[in-house]
Amino acid sequence: MMEYYYITDPGMVRDHNEDSVIIVKNDNDEYLLAVADGMGGHLCGEVASSIAIQHLGERFKKISSIGNKEDAIKWLHEVVNEINVLIFKYTDEHEESKGMGTTLVLAVYTKDFLIYGNIGDSSGFAIKQGHLHKITTDHTLVNVLVKSGELTPEEAKNHPQKNVLMRALGSSVTAELDIFDVETDVEGVLLCSDGLTNMLEKEKIEDVLDEDLSLEEKLEKLIYKCNNRGGNDNISIACLMKDGENK
């Protein structure tokens, strides 16, 4: 048995929420989690992230099983490319939405496999022995500079161009989804927009996840802590925990 919960909050600064989030379980006890962080003008980011999450959810609900790992990876690439087409179609029909796009981080958990996928800088973590292990890689300019040795990880944290994305849905005709294959011996899966990770260090998130609270209370507390520190962005979290691992 699994326990899951997801939450999204506009934060303390933004006047609307451009994030979207979902967790879907099918009859075969397979789970799809996804978080999208939209961008691009007034309300348009909200549209882009909503297109991504709604399409993912609708497509997942239509299948009785996602199949084996190879089937699932193929399905994810297909659906993400469909989302990309839908975003471009919307921008073609709505002039004011030109330039809109969205990040996307997702995970598919079954009894046989666990895979993550991402485009952009929303993050996917595995929870092992109470610790968060980042699985996904951010598609940002500063991450490219860190990998090339031009920036240190510490310099990247406060770099003025830290939010410049190298990849996003709606920014290129081809959607490049990175896939990560992870062993299923995890305690849980956590996905989030950068509104969480920019406000709370990994250790602070771990501390809350380790508290004697329900999963819902833990995620609500993480939102509270982000907002208490200024909440300068929308905050979205999706979390799946194995039964018995959530205190």
Mean pLDDT on 202-220:
97
Mean pLDDT on 6-21:
96
Helix (H) or strand (E) holding 101: strand 101-102
Contact 105, 117 (CB under 8 A): yes
* Token couple for 28: 């075969």
| Percentage of the chain exceeding pLDDT 70 | 97
User: Whole-angstrom Cα distance, residue 99 to residue 76?
Assistant: 24
Q: Which residues contact 66 (CB under 8 A, 6 or more apart)?
A: 26, 28, 30, 32, 60, 72, 75, 108, 110
Q: What is the pLDDT of residue 184?
A: 96
User: Whole-angstrom Cα distance, residue 117 to residue 32?
Assistant: 11
Q: What is the pLDDT of residue 212?
A: 96
Can you list the domains of the chain with their CATH numbers?
2-136+166-242 (3.60.40.10)
Contact 2, 240 (CB under 8 A): yes
Inform me whether the pLDDT recorded for 55 exceeds 90. yes
User: Whole-angstrom Cα distance, residue 141 to residue 144?
Assistant: 5
Q: Name the residue with higher pLDDT: 12 or 144.
A: 12
Inform me whether the pLDDT recorded for 246 exceeds 80. no
